[in-house]
Each structure stands twice: as structure tokens, then as C-alpha cells.
Amino acid sequence: MIWAKEETLPREELEKIQLKKLKETVPYIYEKVAPYRAKMDAANVKPQDIQKLEDLKKLPFTYKSDFRDNYPTGLFAVEVKDLVRFHASSGTTGKPTVVGYTRHDLDVWLNNVARVTCMGGASSSDIAQIAFGYGTFTGALGLHGGLETIGASVIPMSSGNTNKQIMFLKDMGVTLLVATPSYALHLGEEIRRRGMDPQKDLNVRIGLFGGEGMTEPMRDEMHKVWGDEFFCTQNYGMSELCGPGVAGECSALNGMHINEDWFIPEIIDPKTEEVLPPGEKGELVITCLGKEAIPLIRYRTGDLTRLMYEPCSCGRTTCRMENLSGRADDMLVIRGVNVFPTQIEEVLLKIPEIGPHYEILVERKNRLDVMTITVELIDDRLLDSYTKLSELEQRIKAGLKSQLGLATQIKLVAPNSLQRFEGKAKRVTDLRKDGL
Ligand SMILES: [Zn+2]
């Protein structure tokens, strides 16, 4: 089902809507948000300079650091009394990023999430269990509101407590699971460990995943655990932009449709800041249209992707962003080579003897970067055969070498010995800052 008519407009009509909203948003932010007005003044650009969509590139960027510098509400265009909701991102260091919503922002947001849930196959007849942690994180309440908007029945389970998760999945006849992909895998494995087959013994048919990316091999892994009929998609968003609801995968599984009547995407070269032509890969920059509380212009998401404007078989005309190939700041530089954890994951998941859980450790030994990847075996009987173990290790090393162009150390460990994560998996430990 397609939730909104704006998802199927001819491009000229869509662009008319974008331009109209952009011409309202820019004077609004200039008047209401002092830090952004200062940026525009410094760049010598005035609201009246924005007359067509291409003029967008005249405007200065907004960065994550702008939220920190103006913590907590300095980027807000409305007074706190006009807000109906706050959220905050889970920053690993320092202060969180605080965002706010007016009643109108909340309505727009949840309607955009509603679109994304429909893209992923949800409908009013679904019983949805939300295994995201509630609290200030936008994922749980975002999907919660979006699913309620389409009329699905929502179970606000929150994260953790795997026993209770499994009990509710079974007893409530849950048909749709909202979780991080790594937790969904863990949950599926636990269900199998208890002697149940998710495909036969449960009704879960749809997975709406977020909080972290899902690579194609990981999706295959998901089918191994949850069954062939399990349909799972990921969606894109971040709290600064609204939360989930910016883009989502449709039944064609060829990228995520961006809700372009509310978000204008651009792809730039992160180093030169030049706007790149359609189809090229670079950093995603998003301008939010029509937001009252935090209107954001040209927000540097730090996510690397490319945009596809070709028609999609699902009937939507909005452009699609390719599934993320990493974050500009997740990138590890190992001996001068750019490495994304997702590249490592792709290699590992193609090897049948090892499971989907892994850890990456980067150290500096004798002034050289050394990357050690710890991987779980599927069958612990392999640990008894030195020959087989060493053959497998060589095969993993060769796969990584051809993908990354780098030599790596491999450590094979028993099944279920690595830590499992209920939220976003923390797979990389970089110790180089402390060493020489
Ligand atoms: Zn589509």
C-alpha cells in the first residue's frame, strides 16, 4: 500500500512543492534562528537569493557541531512552550543532541513514518512488537506513532528481556517486529535454541529494522534464522532530521525512497563540499522542509550513499538512496587504507562456517596498524580440527585481503562467545589513540 499521494507525483509537481516550501523555510529560519542567520550573513546570502531549487547550493551547511554549540535549544525557531515533545540522540560522548517538535511537526513526522511502514509492507491488520528501547531515542516512539497512524496494533515492549519478547511474539500472535537488525538476529537465534522454528511456530512475517544499517548478506542471514517468508526492510532517519521517516525500503528492495516533499537530498564530496551529479556516491546532505521547531538547511548527515532517480516497480516516483555504505566518521584508516566495517561484514557473511557476530580490534604494534577480527564459528566441533580451522582462517584472510587490500589477523571463537547487543552493536574497538 502507498500511504500518501505525494509519493507518486510526477517530478515537476514534486519539485514545485519542494520549491514552494523551500521559499517559505529559508526566510523563516533567517528570521527565527540566530546562529543560522549569522552563517547566511557570513556567506553573504539573503533569503530572497533563493528563487529556484538550484539556489539551494548557495546556502551554508549545518553540522552536528551546531547542535553541540547551541545546546540545548539554540537552534530552535519556536519557544519551548510551543513544543509538544522533546527527543535526544544517544551521544557517546559529551552532551546529547536535543530536538523538539510542535504539534504540526509531530503530525508530519508520524505521517512520514506511516509511509515508511507501508513501504515495508505493514498494514492496519498487523500486530507490531517494538523491541527498540523507549526513552528519548526517536526510533521507538517514531515507529510506534507511525504504526498507530496506519491502524496497526502496537505492543510497546521496549528493548531487552528476551524471554518476555519471545513470550509476547508467540502469545500475542505478533506479525511485525521492530528492532535493530543485530537484535532481531539474536532473538531469532534464541527462538531456535528453544526448539521453535520462527516460520512454523510464530506469525512474525515483517521486520522493520533501524538504529543501524543492514547489509545484504545480513538480510540473507535474517532469512536463515526467521525463514524464507520473512520480509525485512530498513529505513533511514536521524533525530536531527526528525527521527525515522526520512526514507524507507519498498517491496522492490532496491534502495530507500526519500519522502522528498519534506526532505531535499543532495550528495556532496565530503572533502571539496562540491555537489555531485545524480548517481555519484558521496555524503548525504538533507534540507528539511516545513519544520516549525528545528528547520534545518543542508544538514551534513555524515552518511555515504548515492541517489537513484530511475522509476521504481513499486509505483513510487520519489528518488531512492542506496543502502548506506558507511558513515564518513565510521571509516577506519588502517595503514593509509580507508576501511568501513560494513565491507568486513560483507566478506564474513559470505562464509558459511561462521556466524553473523564479529568484533574488530585495531591496535598499533611496532608503529604499524594491526587489525584483528574475532569471529564466531557456527559449529564448535571445528575447534577440534587444527587443519580445518587453519584452512578456514586462511580463507577468511584471503577474502578480506581481496576486499580491503589489507592483511588482517583472524581469531575464531566458539559459538555464542561474543557479546550480544540489544541496541546498536558496538563492533569496533580502536586502541590506537593510546598507543604510539
Ligand atoms: Zn519502490
How confident is the model over 234-256, as pLDDT tens digits?
999 999 999 999 999 999 999 99
- What is the structure's pLDDT at 326? 67
Instruction: Return the residue matching grid coordinates 551521544.
Output: 91
The mean pLDDT value of the chain amounts to: 93
Task: Please tell me if the domain spanning 1-329 has the same topology as the one spanning 337-430.
Answer: no
DSSP code of residue 266:
E
Is a pLDDT exceeding 70 seen at residue 328? no
Q: What percent of the chain has pLDDT over 90?
A: 76
Average pLDDT over residues 393-414: 93
Q: How far apart are CA 101 and CA 241, in angstroms?
A: 11
Measure Cα distances from 298 to 64, 96, 118, 303, 304 in Å: 11, 21, 27, 13, 15
pLDDT tens by residue, 212-231? 888 888 899 999 999 999 99
Peptide bond into 72 cis (omega under 30): yes
Cα of 311 vs centre of ligand 1, distance in Å, is 8
The secondary structure element, H or E, covering residue 333 is: strand 332-334
pLDDT tens by residue, 145-161? 999 999 999 999 999 89
Cα of 410 vs centre of ligand 1, distance in Å, is 39
- β-partners of residue 359 are 374
Q: What DSSP string describes 183-230?
A: HHHHHHHHHHHTT--HHHH----EEEE-SS---HHHHHHHHHHH-TT-
Average pLDDT over residues 20-29: 98
- What is the structure's pLDDT at 424? 67
Under CATH, what is the fold of the domain 337-430? GMP Synthetase; Chain A, domain 3 (3.30.300)
Cα of 88 vs centre of ligand 1, distance in Å, is 31
pLDDT tens by residue, 265-288? 999 988 789 999 999 888 999 999
Q: Where are the domains of the chain?
A: 1-329, 337-430
Query: What's this model's pTM, rounded to 2 decimal places?
Result: 0.81
Average pLDDT over residues 327-340: 76
- What is the structure's pLDDT at 388? 92
Cα of 2 vs centre of ligand 1, distance in Å, is 10
Cα of 233 vs centre of ligand 1, distance in Å, is 12
Cα of 31 vs centre of ligand 1, distance in Å, is 38
pLDDT tens by residue, 64-95? 889 989 999 999 999 999 999 999 986 555 68
Cα of 255 vs centre of ligand 1, distance in Å, is 8
Cα of 269 vs centre of ligand 1, distance in Å, is 26
Phi, psi dihedral angles at 296 (to 5 degrees): -115, 130
Helical ranges in 213-284 per DSSP H:
216-226
Cα of 120 vs centre of ligand 1, distance in Å, is 10
Cα of 312 vs centre of ligand 1, distance in Å, is 5
CATH numeric code, 1-329: 3.40.50.12780
Is a pLDDT exceeding 80 seen at residue 434? no
Cα of 253 vs centre of ligand 1, distance in Å, is 7
Q: How far apart are CA 119 and CA 109, in angstroms?
A: 15
